[in-house]
Amino acid sequence: MAMRAMVQELGNQIAQENLNRPLTYEQLMNRHRDQLTKLNISLCRECFIPIGKEEGEHCNEVRKHYLVRLRGLQPKRHAKARKHISISDE
Question: What is the Cα–Cα distance from 72 to 66, expressed in whole angstroms?
Answer: 10
Host domain of residue 75 = 3-89
pLDDT value at residue 75: 47
C-alpha 4/C-alpha 77 separation (Å) is 47
Report pLDDT for 46. 92
pLDDT of residue 16: 86
Pairwise CA distance, residues 62 & 3, whole Å: 24
The band of 73, judged by pLDDT with boundaries at 50, 70 and 90, is low
Banded pLDDT at 2 (limits 50, 70, 90): confident
3-state secondary structure the chain: CCHHHHHHHHHHHHHHHHHHCCCCHHHHHHHHHHHHHHHCEEECCCCCCEEEHHHCCCCHHHHHHHHHHHHHHCCCCHHHHHHHHHHHHC
At position 49, the amino acid (one-letter code) is: I
pLDDT tens digits along 4-54: 898 899 888 888 887 888 889 999 999 999 999 999 999 999 999 999 999
Q: How many distinct structural domains can be found in the chain?
A: 1
